[in-house]
Amino acid sequence: MSAAPSPFSRGTVIGMLLVGALAFVALLWFLGNSTGGSGNDGGAHVGGKGLNGFAGLAQMLESEGLDVQRLRNRQTIESTPGLLILTPPAGAEGKDIAKVVDARRYIGPTLVIAPKWFATGLQSEKAKRGWVQILSTNPPEWPGFADNVTVEIGDEKSAPASGWRLGQRRGKLPDDRQVEYGSGKGLVPIVDAGNGKILAAWLDDDGYYPGLNDLVGIDPDYGGDDEDLYPVVFVFEPDLMDNWGLADKATALLARDLVLATADNRSQPFAFDMTFNGFGASRNLLTLAFEPPFLAATICLFLAALAVAWRALHRFGPALTQGPEIAMGKAALVGNAAGLIRRAGRVHLAAAPYADAVRERIALALGLPRGLSHEEIERLIDAAQARRGIPGPTFSSAARHLRDARKPHDVTKRALVLQQIERLLK
């Protein structure tokens, strides 16, 4: 190992970490907000800017400085305080709508706008994005939600509805024949048509709703005893709220007053749901990371990242470079050969050659004559041991024991005996 300087400066490392952190945060944000744009696809929802959309209603409320939200998460709409405006399509699941409405009865008021128009995108070079062409009507079918309420839509041959009315207020409808009405037990009318049919109403339950009472002009004390219960308002005729209807000033003011009376609180959010219209999305992961119970884990990860960064920038000396994986030279060749023999389980085969090599080295060191047999050389080595008074076994016996060894441990132990004899005779 040899010391080597870091290939990057401290500023470069800090810059790389910052860029990586920002990229990770951006990834989390885009994962939680990949909702497909503004939603201006010609649909009857808050993103729609066509005749049947409700973008104008949201813009009108925003112009008054109200907190208007566009919600794309189903769990969020069930728990967000303030007014929730639902614009489900005709084919939405009634049980899902009922689940949302029931979950919010003690959280905030809910205003449900029924669909009516069947529209397609306008095929024209001069048409702007989101413009639609009205083809026919399509009443809602929501079994499992407000089953005691009946909805009917007039046709082109029906008698005119004569606009809408609320007390002394009057207004016109874009189409005075194809009007959607509602009826059923437990409805308190808010807006009627000129023919007396209901265009908007709220559920007459155990709640007390002073804002709606004041709008309609009935007894301020009318209602139940549960002051914590929030109202559910039905707008059966969507032209009271959609962009087509809001083209009339009187209708626009009616829509504004109806929304504010339902909310009865200008300080809380005015939320439009988009999940029932196909714009649902998961919760923002970046926001979720800073909410309990995930906040504790986020703090721990942040502290761990700081500790790792501090350790990386304050290391004890430069990094150590490792040597080559395969060593060079004679020592490497011997080591590789020994490793191969050991892996093959043939260590005992090296015992006899090692004993012969030691014998030849000792013979050369003692100056013994050449041409003698192996037995004579070993006998002369034994004699030299005796003359020098070297303790331990004789060379011949030690060499014989080494040649007879079979286990690697025995080979190593007996080879050391020969190595000791060689060292003392040289």
Query: How many CA atoms does the CB half-sphere of 47 hold within 13 Å?
Result: 22
Range 20-49 average pLDDT: 76
DSSP class per residue in 183-212: EETTEEEEEEETTS-EEEEEE-SSB--HHH
How distant is the alpha carbon of residue 389 from its chain centre? Answer: 84
What percent of the chain is modeled with pLDDT above 70? 89
What sign for the dihedral angle of Cα 328, 333, 339, 340? positive
Q: Which long-range contacts (CB under 8 A, 24 or more apart) does 356-361 make?
A: 358/399, 358/418, 358/419, 358/421, 358/422, 359/395, 359/399, 361/422
Do residues 402 and 414 lie in contact, with contact meaning Cβ atoms separated by under 8 Å?
Answer: yes
* Angle subtended by helix axes 374-388 and 395-404, to nearest 10: 130
Q: pLDDT of 76-126, one tens digit each?
A: 888 889 999 999 999 999 999 999 999 999 999 999 999 999 998 887 778
Residues whose CB is less than 8 angstroms from the CB of residue 236 and which lie 6 or more positions away in sequence, other chains included? 114, 151, 180, 181, 182, 198, 199, 200, 201
Range 51-72 average pLDDT: 94
pTM of the full structure:
0.63
Residue corresponding to tokens 């929802």: 45
Q: pLDDT of 177-228, one tens digit each?
A: 999 999 999 999 999 999 999 999 999 999 999 999 999 999 888 888 899 9
Burial (Cβ within 10 Å: 0-12, 13-18, ≥19) of residue 49? buried
The three-point CA angle 41-47-53 to 5° equals 80
